[in-house]
Chains A and B, each alone.
Chain A
Amino acid sequence: MSGIQTKKLTRVYTLGKVQVTALDGVDFSVEEGEFIAVTGASGSGKSTLLNLLGGLDTPTAGVIEVMGRRISTMDKEELARYRRFTVGMIFQAFNLVTARTALENVELPLIFAGVSKKERRVRAAGLLEKVGLSGRRSHRPFELSGGEQQRVAIARALVNGPRVLLADEPTGNLDSRTAGEVVRLLAGLQRDQGLTVVMVSHEQALAREYAGRIISLMDGRVQSDGVTP
């Protein structure tokens, strides 16, 4: 079954009087439980693609279907529910809330899902343990290393039990050893839980090592789409 499918996906930004085409008729599909990497030079449209798949942005034209649901026509509240329950996202800059502890950051999506405080604590603590940070739950982001922060972000992305994990340059701010650990963690989640993982990365070596397929973008178009050796 197709986990993610796009048809003629187009996103055009208007910057002043200039129109910039970030994505230009992108067609691709990802099977459920697949781990794919999206690569490409800076400005090729990788992050735009991920934001569209994550429901943070809406396409100018084209269709996006995730887990059988057409998200390209959803209104704002439907997109919020989609982000809450269907997808989890992690970012290069981790995007943790600095005033909240690791545990509270992991709890954050559950607040918007209306989960009780007691249940939130249990679920968040369980996920922190899963990513190897049970001893760091009371630490604030600035008290954690980059790798630890990204693992907190992964725990947060998974706390509502999504079926798709979208990672936007998750290793961009990490050293190579930590980057390897983080991608291994993502690959493990895909393997053990059957998560569909889409990872945007410019690190070809990591992509080739862990992703089953690599889609390469150039100037907003799919340049290549192939299975890794």
Chain B
Amino acid sequence: MRISDLADLSAANLWKRKLRTFLTVSGVAVGIGALVSMISFGKGMQENVTKNFRELALFNSVTVFPGSSRLEGHDPDVPSSRPGTRALPSDPVLDDEAVRSIAAIKGVEWVYPDINFPALVGFNGKEELRLVQVIPAKALASGMFKLLCGRAFATDEENSALVSPSFLRTLGFKEPREALGRSLKISSLALDIGRFDLSALSELRGLPISREDHEFTVAGVTQDSGFGGPNPFQNDIIIPSGAAAEIKRLPFNSVWDLFRMSERKGGGYSALNVRLVSPAHIGAVKDKARGMGFATFALADQFSEIQRGFIYLDMVLAAVGMIAIFVASLGIVNTMVMSILERFREIGVMKAVGAGDRDIKTIFFFESFSIGLIGGALGCGLGWGVSGLINQVVNFFLAKQGVPYMKYFAFPLWIFMGAVGFSVMVSLVAGIYPARRAAKVDPVIALRHD
């Protein structure tokens, strides 16, 4: 038999039962559409994270911590209870001297200490307790920090602040631009030995702490990171390092830090953010820093693990899509079996005029193939369309929260080709039983059939 004849026979048979064909093809299209959407979502997430890593220069960033015994690969954001992950009293201090030493390592572009402190932030007639993050002007100008509106710091000494959109929303701002140029008060808590009163302290009536107020002007509004990547702005309020040096403050952010203070000699920073000239220097810089007695952490090292995580995510998403495909394949089996029953006599006639078992099998396989091909192609369109719609709806709502527009679904060509190929494969598998059954039809019985 010629392929053109198979196509003609298949088209004629499917067209003869239009509604049933439409329903079966729709089932396949929905299944493939679900699979395409799921996989493209996983792929989109992966692309967004990779893009985010690149934009934030995380491939050429290293974080340096005090304590050489900190285990490699440990997430510094999560306090660990594992023994050997804490800085020991014998470890060197991460102080300004350490900052200078690390900045002098070949391949280091710039270094700034990770400084956060709690403060009462007075803005727009309200006061909120927030952590204030200190970022030098040079780092902000590097391109890894993005602003929604306004400008970054021109110098480290200016009394300017950057605020987050979520902070502005909390304070009732509808338009972030309205906050620009307005005055913001940062009130820190400082140790005041003059107020030290041992008797009051023993009765827990008060601590030797005083409040210091500092005026800042809002220069810009930070941009929230989209879904799928780390945000370099950890806190709602950002101030430059020079201005931050003027603010007296307690050297801890939480009770956790109080416990850790006893382990550190002479204070020092909790971490240093190190930006490299290129990712090629990561290994050498880490080795040098470790040689100085510090621990290091590079997100780039974690990227392969993140990618492995995405493979698991893809598998889970694909498994969900597979369920839809499985249901659709049952629809194909049902349609083809019904087709055998309806065309029982016709199969007998075909055999009587010279069709072999193989011809009959091929005819039924080709019909399954056609359902898979058409359903797969329509499913790709459906998946693409629905994903696009979901993307628009999600962006519409997230835009209200200041999240920049993002493509949450990615559609590389291989997704469409793979989906159609998979649809055809599933359809052919679904067609095995009906095709075999059709081929086994006894022509003598079929020709007597009414």
**Contact surface of A with B, Cβ cutoff 8 Å:** 51, 54, 56-57, 76-77, 80-81, 83-85, 89, 91, 93, 95-97, 99, 108-109, 111-114, 116-117, 156-157, 160
A81 near B356 with CB under 8 A, answer yes
Give the B interface residue count (CB, 8 A): 24
B354 near A95 with CB under 8 A, answer no
Q: Does B9 contact A (CB under 8 A)?
A: yes
Within the assembled complex, what's the spacing in Å between the Cα atoms of A117 and B2?
10
Q: Does B349 contact A (CB under 8 A)?
A: yes
Within the assembled complex, what's the spacing in Å between the Cα atoms of A178 and B289?
106
Q: Does B255 contact A (CB under 8 A)?
A: no
CB distance from B352 to the nearest CB of A (A): 6
Within the assembled complex, what's the spacing in Å between the Cα atoms of A215 and B9?
41
A83 near B348 with CB under 8 A, answer no
Chain B residue contacts of A117, Cβ below 8 A: 4-5
B354 near A84 with CB under 8 A, answer yes
B345 near A80 with CB under 8 A, answer no
A95 near B348 with CB under 8 A, answer yes
Chain A residue contacts of B51, Cβ below 8 A: none
A112 near B352 with CB under 8 A, answer no
Known: A97-B346, A109-B353. 6 other contacts (CB 8 A): A80-B351, A80-B359, A84-B354, A93-B447, A95-B352, A96-B349
A56 near B444 with CB under 8 A, answer yes
B346 near A80 with CB under 8 A, answer no
Within the assembled complex, what's the spacing in Å between the Cα atoms of A119 and B172?
81
Using known A-B contacts A114-B1, A117-B4, determine if residue A77 contacts B345 with beta carbons closer than 8 Å. no
Chain B residue contacts of A85, Cβ below 8 A: 354
A83 near B357 with CB under 8 A, answer no
CB distance from A64 to the nearest CB of B (A): 15
B350 near A108 with CB under 8 A, answer yes
Q: Which one, B16, B346, B352, B357, contacts A56 given CB within 8 A?
A: B352
CB distance from A221 to the nearest CB of B (A): 21
Within the assembled complex, what's the spacing in Å between the Cα atoms of A85 and B50?
65
For window 339-376 of chain B, which residues contact chain A by CB distance below 8 Å?
345-346, 348-359
Within the assembled complex, what's the spacing in Å between the Cα atoms of A116 and B348?
23
Q: Which one, B1, B5, B356, B444, contacts A51 given CB within 8 A?
A: B444
Within the assembled complex, what's the spacing in Å between the Cα atoms of A91 and B355?
17
18 contacts between A and B (CB under 8 A): A56-B443, A76-B357, A77-B356, A77-B357, A80-B356, A80-B357, A91-B447, A95-B345, A95-B349, A99-B12, A109-B353, A112-B354, A112-B356, A113-B354, A114-B1, A116-B2, A156-B353, A160-B354
Chain B residue contacts of A80, Cβ below 8 A: 351, 354-357, 359
Q: Among the interface residues B16, B356, B358, which one has the most CB atoms of the partner chain A within 10 A? A: B356
Q: Which one, B350, B443, B444, contacts A112 given CB within 8 A?
A: B350
Q: Among the interface residues B4, B348, B353, B357, which one has the most CB atoms of the partner chain A within 10 A? A: B353
Chain B, residue nearest A83 (CB): B354
Q: Which one, A76, A108, A111, contacts B356 given CB within 8 A?
A: A76
